[in-house]
Structure 1
Amino acid sequence: MTTTGTQARLERIGTDGNYVIVPMDHGITLGAVQGLKDIESTIDGVTRGGADAVLTQKGIAPRVHDHKNGQGYIVHLNASTTIGPDERDKRMTGTVEEAIRAGADAVSFHINVGSDHEPDQITQLSEVTAAADQFGIPVLAMAYARGPGVDSEDPEALGHAVRLAEEVGADLVKTGYSGDAESFQHVVESTRLPVVIAGGSKGTDRETIEMVRGVMDAGGSGVSMGRSIFQHEDPEAIARAVSGVVHEDLSTDDALRESGLALEV
């Protein structure tokens, strides 16, 4: 059951039920890659561009608040690295209480549905949602279809992942994109939670915005998009284009044009 506090905090990380979230917790996973060394400037740019919230691990919180221009803040609670033995084996890095002390409006947790680590991650996500409920803190479940023999773009698998998030008590769910609006509609219809998509590795500006347009056309609620935004040569402009689609219902061409990004031939 969504409490008054949970609803109030959801409104801090979104706008009218839609969400443009920029996760920047990749410093654990990938290291201090482009866009994360001077994370202060990136946070300032994406929030000026229209991002509703940014997301980091708890240790980066002191670098967030002075630069987020009054927008929302989410603390991520598990992680792994690309140089470790198994990137799908996400381990706990924080608690709901630590996130609150870090000034978070919400917490997030990653689960790889279909992986060998799924059982432990289901248990941990359930524990996070129970703890968050005690404080009226929203939980963003990053529920991916990833594992042996699992197609990470299969709408049935993605639908299963987002339904799992609802079943264990999340308030908002992020998952991969199935490739087109028609197939993604099944994913959206698999849960009553707001569904946002991951961005994945950086594509062209047009590919990024067409993907955002597709999720909105399918009835989705926005994006939680990291590298496609924070590694862009102009994070503010691409955030503005994404926000234009999510919050203003702009077409791909209009979003690119109004954000000042050149239209591609």
Structure 2
Amino acid sequence: MTYRSDAAALSAKSAGCFQACTPSFRAHYARPSNLTIHTTMADITTSAADKKEKEYFTDVPQQAPGFFLKGSHQYDWGLKNRLSKVFNPKDGRTVMLAFDHGYFQGPTTGLERVDQTILPLEPYADCLMLTRGIQRSIIPASTQKAIALRASGGTSMVSPFEEWEGEIDGRKAKFGRPGFEPLSNESTALNIEEAIRLNASLLAVQVFIGSAYERQSLKNLTDLVDAGARYGIAVMGVVAVGRAMARNAQYFRLATRIMAELGAHVVKCYYTDEGFETITSCCPVPIVIAGGKKLPELDALKMSYNAIQQGASGVDMGRNIFQSEDPVAMMKAVRGVVHEGLTPEQGFAMFNDLKGK
């Protein structure tokens, strides 16, 4: 009995199958009898001179650098990549331009024509905070800026509220009873599929700690955190402060910590003149400050500078930019303070130099 190798047996079997085919099939696919194939080892073996020697770097341990953002080292690659578009990896800071006010205020001062006001500012922002309607209708799809998409809403400035008499800055005023803010009755305003379609890096959701709708707004936050986690999209919890709520360090320590504990990747809150460093210290994720009401340019720059010095990872300004005497000059001055280490006075000098040019 003769034993053949598996390769020889397979070759013989293949030849037998070929012979079993129809004559026309064999005639079409058979090798021409006059065809000669010449193969040498040089054809299949690269010479030692031409071959690049492999480098395994056995003496160099693989680097495993931590991510540059506070509290972000455990995130998935895609989420980190999106956050690195919001925050500059060189310094871990951001200048966000907020112009989502129209979702409850309508055409507020400075945003009557978003195309005229905001588009000249777009080149100087790291991230644009906006609604999906403005993103689709105004912002060019060619923008390279990160998108922070407003993801909660449902009420407006004209929402009715119960009367309650109290004080604002020591003056009598009438507004909803303590803890009752009609604007706090928000729901999620888009789903995760829409956020993906709009290529959002960050979803912004308002949270009303201490209001009548605290539970609902926290549920909005956690629902978006869960949805975003499936696709690597970050969520920013925005501390909303009603007219009857105190803006002090104790309140912001509570609000920012709650949102971080419930999964927010970034938190936005107001700056406080006293104790702001305690807010950033006990919040395990990056904090960016809200600009709030319009301030004189030097005061806004001082607020930005102090916040950065006390642990903030950036600013998310709106009215202090687009309501400025010269929005582009102010935008550049804020960038100078946040990213270039300018003092408020240096930033203000930059503003004055650029103003009107």
In structure 2, relative to structure 1, the CA distance for the partners of 1:178 and 1:12 (3 Å cut) is same
Aligned residues: CA RMSD: 2.0
Residue 36 of structure 1: how far off its partner (Å): 1.9
Q: Partner of 1:20: helix, strand, or coil? A: strand
In structure 2, relative to structure 1, the CA distance for the partners of 1:68 and 1:19 (3 Å cut) is farther
Given the alignment, which residue of 141, 149, 152 partners 1:75? 149
* Structure-1 separation of matches of 2:211 and 2:353: 39
Task: Work out whether 1:251 is the aligned partner of 2:343.
Answer: yes
1:36 is matched with 111
Structure 2 residues not aligned, in runs of 5+? 1-73, 161-181
Q: Partner of 1:65: helix, strand, or coil? A: coil
Report if aligned partners of 1:19, 1:246 keep a CA contact under 8 Å in 2. yes
**% identical aligned pairs:** 28
Task: Work out whether 1:54 is the aligned partner of 2:150.
Answer: no
Report if aligned partners of 1:145, 1:157 keep a CA contact under 8 Å in 2. no
Task: Work out whether 1:209 is the aligned partner of 2:301.
Answer: yes
Residue 147 of structure 1: how far off its partner (Å): 7.4
Q: Partner of 1:62: helix, strand, or coil? A: helix
Given the alignment, which residue of 214, 236, 242 partners 1:118? 214
Q: Partner of 1:115: helix, strand, or coil? A: coil
Task: Work out whether 1:151 is the aligned partner of 2:225.
Answer: no
* Structure-1 separation of matches of 2:138 and 2:192: 18
Given the alignment, which residue of 163, 188, 195 partners 2:280? 188
Given the alignment, which residue of 332, 342, 345 partners 1:240? 332
Higher mean alpha-carbon deviation, 221-230 vs 254-263, is at: 254-263
TM-score (norm 1): 0.90
Residue 145 of structure 1: how far off its partner (Å): 4.7
* Structure-1 separation of matches of 2:259 and 2:322: 26
In structure 2, relative to structure 1, the CA distance for the partners of 1:99 and 1:31 (3 Å cut) is same
Report if aligned partners of 1:19, 1:221 keep a CA contact under 8 Å in 2. yes
1:199 is matched with 291
1:10 is matched with 83
Report if aligned partners of 1:47, 1:236 keep a CA contact under 8 Å in 2. no
Given the alignment, which residue of 92, 95, 98 partners 1:20? 95
Residue 146 of structure 1: how far off its partner (Å): 4.2
* Structure-1 separation of matches of 2:241 and 2:118: 29
Residue 70 of structure 1: how far off its partner (Å): 1.9
Given the alignment, which residue of 266, 274, 280 partners 1:172? 266
* Structure-2 separation of matches of 1:62 and 1:123: 27
Residue 63 of structure 1: how far off its partner (Å): 3.1
* Structure-1 separation of matches of 2:254 and 2:246: 12
In structure 2, relative to structure 1, the CA distance for the partners of 1:170 and 1:261 (3 Å cut) is farther
Q: Partner of 1:259: helix, strand, or coil? A: helix
Query: CA offsets, 1:70-111, max 9 Å, x none?
Result: 211111111231111312222322122212212322211010
* Structure-2 separation of matches of 1:218 and 1:140: 20
Amino acid at match of 1:200: G
Given the alignment, which residue of 186, 196, 216 partners 1:100? 196
Residue 66 of structure 1: how far off its partner (Å): 1.4
Report if aligned partners of 1:114, 1:147 keep a CA contact under 8 Å in 2. no
Alignment length (residue pairs): 258
* Structure-2 separation of matches of 1:260 and 1:2: 42
With a CA cutoff of 8 Å and minimum separation of 6, indicate the structure with the bigger relative contact order.
1
Structure 1 residues not aligned, in runs of 5+? none
Residue 241 of structure 1: how far off its partner (Å): 1.1
Task: Work out whether 1:134 is the aligned partner of 2:258.
Answer: no
Report if aligned partners of 1:40, 1:67 keep a CA contact under 8 Å in 2. no
Q: Partner of 2:308: helix, strand, or coil? A: helix
Amino acid at match of 1:223: V
TM-score (norm 2): 0.68
* Structure-1 separation of matches of 2:299 and 2:108: 22
Q: Higher helix proportion, which one?
A: 1
Report if aligned partners of 2:187, 2:216 keep a CA contact under 8 Å in 1. no
Higher mean alpha-carbon deviation, 124-133 vs 98-107, is at: 98-107
Higher mean alpha-carbon deviation, 11-20 vs 126-135, is at: 11-20
